[in-house]
Structure 1
């Protein structure tokens, strides 16, 4: 049932890409759209730009110097970008000979930005990259540290979560999380588990959730994924993913109430978190985290639905205590309904758990630019 840099260096640069900086240029946001690739660089609040395209190199001269930065975006049409002093260069992929740049003034809480668009009839967009996805570029500034992911198998110990004639939630969550860990570690990702056995972190539910959530900000964490199994009436089925925010309008009773402890205590905690979710919209750091959390949730949800053929219940926001951390991309995923007469027995099968784990791990690796 419901219960929530990239080494943090890369995450830190990604956050900076959404902040109103006065002196630093960070790694760009990179988006693959229908017919073009877009790079968006945050700029100092006051600067100008002049660009020249020669062959496959776009050179942009800025009105003021910014710190050095370079990287290799995982996107069609572009192979590299580099910044040194006042000069920014974007290297186009073989066959690409067109690119444009323009300045966007600071607005809507975002800094002044340099937007570079590269038409891509010269390179086919990979099928694995959905249209309009946006993510931080990988970096080659020195030796990139290994990304670290926190996996949180929800419930455990004195809180088994949902239980049906077919499955017990705490068991399914842990089995899938352990399989995800294996695949991530095999592909160069450090993994921290909130639990590796059937145990709770604290007998008090709120304290238990708090200890899990704190692991998202302990050291350098690239992503936090809380894994759950849902329950409802016997007709409910499907996969859904959440990132932190107020419950969507028309969503009915907040799913997070159950995961935040249930009963009056869960109601009170969820109401308080929902209020906090509204206030975070005015915080730039929280906006950055929310943006990347949404991207991670979308990637994980799409991968799970594609791999299993399960019903899509969408990507939503809700006030989950365990994914409230304001600085780390954090999501909560519901693998399916253990209470459903078809989905419940499937969730108990080791082969289906492996399918879920592989799909989840692949989505996380893609988010981290570690796809094998």
Structure 2
């Protein structure tokens, strides 16, 4: 469960691991440790600060901080340790200190100042400033230890190839493209942590669109066509089963779907989230139709779904199923590089059509 923390002067919230305090100019995270020998390591990338505590245990937690420096904090228990994912609101400076009696690690996070940057040359008054490039974040699903669906194709291989082709097409149009992965690799062997790290990249002021690319499957191996999803509560039992599979499958998938569903329920009372959901729905519809037109594969529709990877996106975000990899005809087509190029072209046309509507903001 995520708990809102409202900034009223200086406050703190007493939680076991970590304790969070918001102060004037910085956010403090306090980790209570069992001994002075407790080790940790820390890394920062793309608005995500990760702190690893090997050998420790702590319950899973999902905290909405919403301070000027920190958006949220997640605690992810892993085999052999604990991973803490801190989503920041920009590049941060981290000041660390170890205190004793009791033993604890203190992290003070402040936003980096931009004073060290070299000023750009002054533009002539008659010259209008160039508009910023749209930034599209592509998420090739699965990867590494997680192959995704396996049929006539392996999902992790197909979606990576399509994402790389799509990146090339969008860059030709002057769009900046980022990838959650650019090779056969997972972000974490733990499914919850892996999806959380992908989601964190979409929770950024530097991204305009988030598109997660997947290959579908059906129990009967007879379904074919393309589908697109935006974040919301899945109503159809078939869609719910599909959501659970993409969220990791089995007990893990059911648990992560329930967590995502609790976030989806809060959209009903959040005007900003509702607006973003409408943009996401429009993006899903546009991508699905353009993909169907480019490939000839039937368009099966766009639907709400409790996808864990979409739950924190503050920009239009969708998950696209580019076809059924276990269908005898469509699965074999997905194995064809020429067909994958048409898939990438369809997705590119959908993205360009959506951006042309001006339904995004930096």
Scaled by the length of structure 2, the TM-score of the pair is 0.61
Helix, strand or coil at the partner of 1:149: strand
Helix, strand or coil at the partner of 2:328: coil
C-alpha distance in structure 1 between counterparts of 2:307 and 2:128, whole Å:
36
Contact 2:204 2:314 in 1 (8 A): no
Q: Deviations over 1:240-271 (max 9, x none)?
A: 00000000245464321111111112112212
Contact 2:213 2:320 in 1 (8 A): yes
Among 154, 158, 167, the alignment partner of 2:141 is: 154
- Structure 2 residue aligned with 1:338: 325
C-alpha distance in structure 2 between counterparts of 1:179 and 1:227, whole Å:
12
Equivalent positions of 1:36-47 (< 5 A) are: none
Q: Deviations over 1:66-93 (max 9, x none)?
A: xxxxxxxxxxxxxxxxxxxxxxxxxxxx
Equivalent positions of 1:30-179 (< 5 A) are: 142-164=129-151, 166-179=152-165
Helix, strand or coil at the partner of 1:282: coil
Helix, strand or coil at the partner of 2:356: coil
Q: Deviations over 1:119-149 (max 9, x none)?
A: xxxxxxxxxxxxxxxxxxxxx9843111100
Scaled by the length of structure 1, the TM-score of the pair is 0.60
Contact 2:226 2:321 in 1 (8 A): yes
Query: How far apart are 1:234 and its partner, in Å?
Result: 1.7
Among 190, 198, 201, the alignment partner of 1:215 is: 201
C-alpha distance in structure 2 between counterparts of 1:346 and 1:251, whole Å:
24
C-alpha distance in structure 1 between counterparts of 2:213 and 2:313, whole Å:
19
Q: Are positions 1:228 and 2:214 aligned together?
A: yes
**Structure 2: stretches of 5+ with no match in the other structure:** 1-126
Relative to structure 1, the CA distance from residue 335 to residue 366 in structure 2 (aligned partners, 3 Å threshold; closer, same or farther) is same
Query: How far apart are 1:199 and its partner, in Å?
Result: 0.5
Equivalent positions of 1:295-314 (< 5 A) are: 295-314=282-301
- Structure 2 residue aligned with 1:361: 348
Query: How far apart are 1:326 and its partner, in Å?
Result: 4.2
- Structure 2 residue aligned with 1:289: 276
Relative to structure 1, the CA distance from residue 323 to residue 364 in structure 2 (aligned partners, 3 Å threshold; closer, same or farther) is same
Helix, strand or coil at the partner of 1:242: strand
Contact 2:230 2:284 in 1 (8 A): yes
C-alpha distance in structure 2 between counterparts of 1:252 and 1:354, whole Å:
27
Q: Deviations over 1:4-24 (max 9, x none)?
A: xxxxxxxxxxxxxxxxxxxxx
Contact 2:292 2:299 in 1 (8 A): yes
Q: Deviations over 1:213-264 (max 9, x none)?
A: 1111234111000000011222111110000000024546432111111111
- Structure 2 residue aligned with 1:203: 189
Helix, strand or coil at the partner of 1:306: helix
RMSD of aligned alpha carbons: 1.8
Relative to structure 1, the CA distance from residue 318 to residue 345 in structure 2 (aligned partners, 3 Å threshold; closer, same or farther) is same
C-alpha distance in structure 2 between counterparts of 1:326 and 1:194, whole Å:
14
C-alpha distance in structure 1 between counterparts of 2:277 and 2:205, whole Å:
20
Would you say how many aligned residue pairs link Structure 1 and Structure 2? 231
Contact 1:286 1:326 in 2 (8 A): no
Q: Deviations over 1:45-85 (max 9, x none)?
A: xxxxxxxxxxxxxxxxxxxxxxxxxxxxxxxxxxxxxxxxx
- Structure 1 residue aligned with 2:166: 180
**Structure 1: stretches of 5+ with no match in the other structure:** 1-139
Relative to structure 1, the CA distance from residue 219 to residue 349 in structure 2 (aligned partners, 3 Å threshold; closer, same or farther) is same
C-alpha distance in structure 2 between counterparts of 1:326 and 1:357, whole Å:
23
Contact 1:246 1:275 in 2 (8 A): no
C-alpha distance in structure 2 between counterparts of 1:327 and 1:194, whole Å:
17
C-alpha distance in structure 1 between counterparts of 2:293 and 2:264, whole Å:
30
